[in-house]
Structure 1
C-alpha cells in the first residue's frame, strides 16, 4: 500500500515537472495571454460589484521604448543583467534590514517577479516562494534576459486593471509604448511597487521624487545591452 502511494506521488511530481517545463518552453516564444493576477483582480472587481476593468495588449519588446526597459531595471533590479535570477547581496541586505526591525523590504528580482506574475498567485507563503524559486530557475535557464524583460513588461500590473506596457502607455499617456520618453517611463516604473495606490500622473510628491531618482539612475546606467548576459541562449 505504501509503495503504491509513493509511486502515485512520484507520478504526480513527474507530471507537474513535465507540465511546468512545457509551459516555460511554450512561453519562450508564445505571448502570455493571461496571468493568475488578472483573474484574481477580475474576481475581486465582480465581488465588489464593479465593472470589470481589464486592459492587456501584448507588445513585442522591439515596440517597447528602451526608456521603459531601462526605467524598470533602475527602479526594480539594477543587477538584472548580471545575476542568474537571484540578487544575493540584495537578499542579505533585506534580511539585515528586517532583522533590525526596520520596515520589511523585499529583494525580488525582475526574474522572480516575472515567475510569480506568469505562473503563480500573489499571496505570500512558503509554498509560493518555493515555487517562485523553481520557476525563476527555469526561466533563467530557458529564456534570454530580453525575453524575461518582454514577458515582465507585458504581464506586470501598472494601474487598476492595467496590465503591461502597451496598456499602461495608452492609459497614462495616450500613446504607444514605443514612444514613451524617459520621464514618462520613469513615472510608470515609479508606481510599480504599489500600482493600485499610486498614479503615474498626476504624480504625488512621493512619485515625483521617485521619478527624478529613476531618471538619474538611468543616466548613470548607460546603454542597455542584453547580449552581454545571455551567453548564446
Structure 2
C-alpha cells in the first residue's frame, strides 16, 4: 500500500516537468508552424454557441508578415508596446508605472507587452489570478527565447482581435476597408491599432471621436519612432 502511494506521488511530482516540456515543444513548433486558431478564438466561438448566436462566424485568414502592409506592425507597436524591439518580454518600467497609478486609485492600467498578449491570446484565457498570470509569464519567456521578434509580431497581427469575431490583419482589412492587408494605408493601420484595447466596443470602420483621436496619436508616435524602419533591426 505504501509503495503504491509513493508511486502515485512520484507521478504527481513528474507532472510539472512533463507540462513544462510539452509547453517548450509547443512554442518551438509554432516558430515555424502557423497556428490555425488561438485560445481566444476558440473561447469566442464557444461563447457564441452558448449564447445561441446563430449568425456568428469567426473570420481569420493567415498572412505572412511580408504580405501585410508595413504600416500595421509599426502602428500596433506604437500603440501597444513601443519598447518591443528592446525588451525581453516584459516592460518593467511600464509595469512599475501601471502599479503606481493603480495604487493611487486612478484608472486601472495594464502594462502587457505584445509578447505577453501573444502568450495570452494564443494559449490562455482572459481574466486575472496568480495562476493565469504565472502561466502567461512562463509562455512569454518561452516565446522570447525561442522566437525572433519578427515572428512574434507576425503571430500577433494574425491573431489579434480587431472586431467581434474578426481576427488578424487580413480579415480586418477585408471586413472594414474592403481591401487586402497588404494595401492598408498608414491611416487605416492606425485605426486598426486604435481599437485593440476594446475591439468589440470601438469600430475601425466607423470610428468615433475617441478612435479618431487615438489613431491620430498613433500616427504621431509612428513618425516619432521613425516609421516602419524602427522595426527593421528586430531579429
2:111 maps to which of 90, 107, 114? 107
Partner residue in 2 for 1:144: 148
| Contact 1:74–1:217, Cα closer than 8 Å, also in 2 | yes
Partner residue in 2 for 1:172: 176
| Contact 2:74–2:231, Cα closer than 8 Å, also in 1 | no
Matches within 5 A, 1:218-233: 218-222=222-226, 223-226=228-231, 228-230=233-235
- 1:17 deviation in Å? 1.1
Larger deviation, residues 208-217 vs 116-125:
116-125
Q: Secondary structure at the match of 2:229?
A: coil
Partner residue in 2 for 1:48: 51
- 1:31 deviation in Å? 0.6
Q: Secondary structure at the match of 1:202?
A: coil
1:154 maps to which of 154, 158, 171? 158
CA distance in 1, matches of 2:8, 2:111: 38
Deviations for 1:34-61, whole angstroms, at most 9, x for unmatched residues?
1111111111112222122200100000
CA distance in 2, matches of 1:119, 1:46: 21
Partner residue in 1 for 2:195: 191
Partner residue in 1 for 2:26: 23
Deviations for 1:136-189, whole angstroms, at most 9, x for unmatched residues?
000000000000000111111110110111101111101111110000000000
| Contact 1:53–1:160, Cα closer than 8 Å, also in 2 | no
- 1:229 deviation in Å? 4.1
Larger deviation, residues 123-132 vs 144-153:
123-132
Q: What RMSD in Å do the two structures reach over aligned CA positions?
A: 1.3
| Contact 1:190–1:210, Cα closer than 8 Å, also in 2 | yes
User: Where in structure 2 are there 5+ consecutive unaligned residues?
Assistant: none
CA distance in 2, matches of 1:224, 1:30: 26
User: Where in structure 1 are there 5+ consecutive unaligned residues?
Assistant: none
CA distance in 2, matches of 1:148, 1:200: 23
Deviations for 1:77-121, whole angstroms, at most 9, x for unmatched residues?
000000000000000000000010001100000000001111111
Partner residue in 2 for 1:125: 129
Task: Please give the TM-score of this superposition, normalised by the length of structure 1.
Answer: 0.95
Q: Secondary structure at the match of 1:203?
A: coil
| Contact 2:76–2:193, Cα closer than 8 Å, also in 1 | yes
